[in-house]
Chain A
Amino acid sequence: MSGTDNVALAGRTPDQPQPYKELGMNEEEYRKVRDILRRRPTASELAIYSVMWSEHCSYKSSKIYLRQFGEKAPKTDKLLVGMGENAGVVDVGQGWAVTFKVESHNHPSFVEPHQGAATGVGGIVRDIISMGARPVAVMDSLRFGAADAPDTRRVLPGVVSGIGGYGNCLGLPNIGGETVFDPCYQDNPLVNALCIGVLRHEDIHKASASGVGNKVVLYGSYTGPDGIGGASVLASASFDEESQAKRPSVQVGDPFMEKLLIECSLELFHKGLVEGIQDLGAAGVSCATTELAAGGTGGMDVQLDRVPLRDPNLLPEEILMSESQERMMAVVTPANVDEFMAVCARYEVPATVIGEVTDTGRLVMTWHGEVIVDIPPRTAAHDGPVYERPVAVPADQARLQADTPGRLPRPSTRDELRKTVMWLAGSPNLADKEWITSQYDRYVLGNTVLAQPENAGVIRLDDETGLGVALALDGNGRYTRLDPYAGAQLALSEAYRNVAATGAQPLAVTNCLNFGSPEDPGVMWQFSKATEGLADACLALGIPVTGGNVSFYNQTGSTPINPTPVIGVLGVHADVRRRTAMAFAAEGHKLVLLGTTREEFGGSEWAHVMYGHLGGLPPMVDLPAEAALGSVLITAAQETLLSGAHDLSDGGLSQALVEASLRGGLGVRVALQGDPFTELFSESVARAVVAVRPEAETRFVDICTQAGVPFTTIGVVGGDSFTVDGLFSIPLHELREAHTGTLPNLMA
């Protein structure tokens, strides 16, 4: 085929100008490619290097910081597969393992909220499938601009329908997450999707292409021009402009095909037909071929013209960069190819052999007989550039920390305190999120034990033994803006507390690090501090990071978002029948506040809601106290001492009592010892409020005493109002109206 740039031509035309800058490469990187190949790259090779060396795929700005998650990792025998694979795999006992990961799809969700969010779910689900696991649940962590901003009414419903439309159609229960509004996310919403999968120990699959002569099979959807838009620069210079005209810049999801891919892939694994596997996400065929080849015997021959196309006019370099969804690549022994194809046919999933594994150490691709790619795959997959970008404390950091909330007028009268309870309960960040979560199927698969708005999602893995897992996803951009080191630790702390509140033993961590531009030294400083804080805290709590994702370039105009590390913690329940739920639903049970309350309002929900204020320092991190609190909550659950437990976080004790009361449909009556404002609204860490079964009171006190966790009996469950002795009494129906009315009104 004439006109296709190939290796022979590249050798003869060393000086041909190439659009590397438009593809996002700098001159130094382009030079490096030329040095590796000892000639200029072909158009296809340039496509591969440009996407594989992009920030998104190569982690070139974050790599030097992410290393500490491995270097500082606590010793554990629970990690069956560590970081580096598609997702880490954690031993949860009884021969079962769990894999989980969270990933961002922020920018596409701003451009096209529905498809952007939908394909975010699709991508993370394929990550889980490629570990050999059956996906069993999803969660999502969302950030939008101000709740009353006009564009939020465009973005939020689209994102929610995208997550719901895709996840519901896949048959995966959505068991939790968070939704936060802040003007800093106005032009840059965050959509972080998490998927959890389960597998038997013996079923772990890895991304590698081993065994010379084994076949490389591409299966799933046909390849189209979607997702190349971001790199539409291909249209420049020597590329065909005609084929560029109609391409969408955001990928379009087909959840039905993904559902078939799940069932088809699991049957392929089950029948032992897969030697190696990789999902196709960012950088599509480029990523899958280079990573599979680099991870295995070292070489691969691919006939790129065999890739089945939705648009026959696609150029080879476009096929390499396409991010068409719902595609997987498998390595299959020649003897198994027929059976592999038969399984795919049963599920009506297209599958095509496009190449085979070699030991040449080269990834060689042909296009109608001409060699268009001939590279050492490691150089694209693993040996990309690594940057140590400049870091500098942001110019306003000291001023921000000095501007403490101490100057803000506080509620002092009974009526002001009462109103503050109501305002917080109805504020967009703390209000009931049912408008969102009722669009997600939480029941499908029949194993959901707890789902939103519970402390954490809990699912059963084994019907017989009751083995299960808990998952929580938390982040706080305001805390992290005030102190990035502490902010990341506070996110971990909260997720740990949420998992423990259900009675699960925390085991492992995943993260999605959402930050501004790495070229901004202030952002890089935030990133360096946040990753350091997270790694240190994981070590202190004894739970390793198993994988994660970095999302840079989250800006509104030239202003970076509040740095937002979103942290997922996975915990295990030996028997989910002993989980603790958040509702206070048992009349007469005593309410006990666990932990120490300090006067801490920096970055608090109160300062945000009442004054739009952000300044001072976030609550003090106290990881030993967090671990001690966790041990009490876990033991109490195992011995079924509690009828309800709710963690304290945003909005403090007041909000925790409101939520647990409304959930259980019963009021609470409490008496406060110290300053009512601090007692009600402070956001000190390592605290929870629990309802203790009458017969278990003595035992519970023993457990708290042994663990060194401060405890105070503050009141009792019952009645139909939220009553603070001597201060106020708010009927539950009034609270419910304030708490549940906000989102429907905003989205009406």
Chain B
Amino acid sequence: MARVGVITFPGSLDDRDAARAVRIAGGEPVELWHADTSLQGVDAVVLPGGFSYGDYLRAGAIARFAPLMEELIPAAKAGLPVLGICNGFQVLAEAHLLPGALMPNAEGHFVCRDQRLRVENAATAWTSEYAQGQEIVVPLKNMDGRFTASAETVEELESSGRVVARYMDVNPNGSLNDIAGVTNEAGNVVGLMPHPEHAVESLTGPTTDGLGFFTSIVKGLINA
């Protein structure tokens, strides 16, 4: 069974939910503690949402220096599948595993809504279960979700198909090009501002559209 680690930083909030999503997708969630120094041989890693260290500095800026990140960064560069959700995306951007930065929302306050997205790249390790261009609805909830990067970086992301998901209907936070998620060049590291782990059960989510991120990795690892 695919073993997917979920890192808990001080202030992580959606760690249990990410673990539940892995379980529902058929994988085995493995709790990872920020201060540990071993990835326990997991096959993939999720950095969950939350407010690590209270986001009192820039979101993700302190978590990125956690001891476990020193293990994660080289592993990710060597191909370990890593998904950063919301605060996890912010940590990955701060760690330069992903390009760009996440700034405070354009409207200046927290936004929680059911957000329609288009999957723009269905070839990453975390999106292979989706069809290219598929539209999905998952919750979005953040304070610092405005994706920003230099014009060159955005151009490069767009031309190389590294925009993983895009906001539809409304741009909830002022992100450049309506970008909701991006991937690295190799396609193993994905950062996503919306929360697919909150759309895995019809009882508690607006849809079950988010499950694909987790089945993608679980099936991909089994087939690999």
Residues of A within 8 A of B (CB): 157, 161, 164-165, 168-171, 254-257, 259-260, 346-348, 437-449, 460, 463, 576-577
Contact = CB atoms under 8 A, between A and B. Distances in A.
Contacts of B14: 171, 444, 446
A168 B56 contact: no
A441 B141 contact: yes
B79 interface: no
A442 B113 CA distance: 9
Contacts of B201: 446
B13 A438 contact: no
Contacts of B195: 443
A441 B13 CA distance: 11
Of the listed residues B109, B111, B195, B205, the one surrounded by the most CB atoms of chain A closer than 10 A to its CB is B109
Contact of B112 (A169, A257, A438, A577): A438
A524 B189 CA distance: 64
A473 B198 CA distance: 26
Given A164-B109, A165-B110, A576 B203 contact: yes
5 contacts: A164-B109, A254-B54, A439-B110, A446-B204, A577-B203
A169 B54 contact: yes
Interface residues of B, number: 30
Interface string B61-75: 000000000000000
Nearest to A440: B112
B10 interface: yes
Contact of B11 (A164, A259, A576): A259
Given A446-B14, A446-B197, 11 more contacts: A164-B110, A168-B110, A254-B54, A256-B10, A256-B53, A347-B10, A443-B195, A443-B198, A446-B201, A460-B203, A577-B203
Contact of A445 (B16, B111, B112): B16
B199 to A, nearest CB: 9
B10 A348 contact: yes
A151 B141 CA distance: 28
B203 A449 contact: yes
B204 A448 contact: yes
Contacts of A164: 109-110
Of the listed residues A348, A440, A463, the one surrounded by the most CB atoms of chain B closer than 10 A to its CB is A463
A439 B11 CA distance: 19
A446 B17 contact: yes
Contacts of A439: 109-112
A171 B13 contact: yes
Contacts of A165: 110
Contacts of B81: none
A171 B50 contact: yes
A221 to B, nearest CB: 12
A163 to B, nearest CB: 10
Interface in B186-209: 195, 197-198, 201, 203-205
A169 B51 contact: yes
Contacts of A441: 110, 112, 141
Nearest to B197: A446
Contact of A255 (B54, B110, B111): B54
Contacts of B27: none
In the A-B complex, the 8 residue pairs with the closest CB atoms: A256-B54, A171-B13, A446-B17, A443-B198, A169-B51, A443-B139, A439-B110, A441-B141
Nearest to B53: A256
B30 interface: no
B143 interface: yes
B122 to A, nearest CB: 25
Interface string B13-41: 11011001000000000000001000000
Nearest to A448: B204
A445 B54 contact: no
Of the listed residues A161, A257, A444, A447, the one surrounded by the most CB atoms of chain B closer than 10 A to its CB is A444
Contacts of A157: 109
Given A256-B53, A256-B56, A443-B198, A161 B109 contact: yes
Given A256-B53, A443-B112, A460 B204 contact: yes
Of the listed residues B35, B201, B204, the one surrounded by the most CB atoms of chain A closer than 10 A to its CB is B204
B44 to A, nearest CB: 20
A350 to B, nearest CB: 14
Nearest to A174: B112
A442 B13 CA distance: 13
Of the listed residues A171, A460, A577, the one surrounded by the most CB atoms of chain B closer than 10 A to its CB is A171
Contacts of B54: 169, 254-257, 259
Contacts of A460: 203-204
A731 to B, nearest CB: 21
Nearest to B139: A443
Nearest to B17: A446
Given A256-B51, A446-B20, A169 B139 contact: no
